[in-house]
Amino acid sequence: MTLNLGELAQTLGARLEGDESIEVSRLNEIQIAASNEISFLSNPKYLKYVKTTQAVALIVPDDMDIDFPNLLRSSNPKQAMLKALQLLNYQDRVHKPGIHSTAVIDSETSVPKSAEIGPGVVIGKDVKLGENIILESNVVIESGSQIGDLSHLYPNVVLYKDSVLGNNCIIHSGAVIGSDGFGFAVESGEIQKIPQTGNVILGNQVEIGANCAIDRGSIGPTSIGDGTKLDNLVHIAHNVRVGKNCFLTAQIAIAGSTELGDRVQMGGQSGVIGHLKVGNDVSIATRGGVTKDIPDGMMVSGFPARSHRDELKIEAIIKKLPELYKAVKTLEKQGNKT
C-alpha cells in the first residue's frame, strides 16, 4: 500500500512535522530504509543513523530532540510503528477454500466448504474442523481432534489424537501438539512406559512457534490459556497448565504438572521444574531456573531463581571476589608473620 505522510499521520494518530504530500510505501529499519520508506526511532542507541538513513520520514516519541525533515511524532511510538507495519508492510494471505487432490481425509470427518486443505494433509476419524481454517501442506490431524474457526496451521504441523485448538490459533511449522509426555516408571531395574491418556487443549488466539513440543497429559489435559504466545523451540511437558496471555520466549522448558498463572513472562532459555505453581504477572528473566513456587507479581532471575533485586546484589558481590580473594590472602600472610 502507498500513502502520503498526511494520510499516514492521521491514521496513526501522530503529529506530522514536514511535507504531508510525500508518498511512502513501506516501513523499514533505519539502517537500510530506502527513499520511499519510513522508519522508526525510539531508542537513543540508533540516533547515530539519523545522518545516514535514506528514510523519508521517522516515527519518533513526542518529546525526542531530533533534527530530521519529516517526523511523525507519537505519544505511543511503538503502537504507531505496529499500525504502520500493518498498513504498509503486511499482506494478508489469500484464503483459498478447497481440498487439494492429494489430501487424505477420513470418510467420517466433515470438512466445511470454507476450509482450505493443502497438499499432503492427512486428517483422521471424527475430527471437528471449524470455519475458514487453513491447513497447509503435510499437516497431520489425528482422530478425535478439534480445530476452531479461523485457525491456521503451517506446513508439517502434527496434532496427535484428541488435541483441541480454539478459535484463531496459529501453529507454525514443525510444531507437535499432543505427543506422549515423558512418563516412565522403574520396576525391578527395568524402565516401563506409563500410558499417556490425556490430551492437549489450547484456548482461543494462542500462537505456537516453530518446532515447539507440547506433550499430552498423562491422565488429564495439558492446557494453554487464551491469548498465550509461544516462541520457537519451547517445550511444555505433560499436565502443565499455562494461563492466559503469557509470553514464553525461545528455548524454554516447563516440567510436568507445573502451573503458570495469567500474564507470566519468561525470558529465553529459562525453565521451571515440575509440580510448582507460578503466580499471575510473574516475570522470569533469561536463563532463570525456577525451583520453588513464585507468588503473584514477582520478578525473578538467576539459578536457582530468586528475587531479581537479590540476584543483582549477588552478582555485584561476585564481581568483587578477585579483590576479596587478594585481601584475604594478604591478611593470611600478615597473620603468618605474627
Residue 279 CA to residue 264 CA, distance in Å, equals 8
Which residues are CB-contacts of 330 (< 8 A; sequence separation ≥ 6)? none
DSSP string, 38-76: EEE--SGGGGGGTTT---SEEEEETT-----SSEEEESS
Query: Does the active-site annotation cover 95?
Result: no
Q: How many CB atoms lie within 10 A of CB 69?
A: 11
C-alpha cell at 325: 580473594
Residue 18 CA to residue 4 CA, distance in Å, equals 11
- E strand or H helix at 333: helix 321-337
Identify the active-site residue in 95, 172, 238, 275: 238
Angle at 40 between CA 37 and CA 41, to 5 degrees: 140
Q: Which residues carry out catalysis?
A: 238
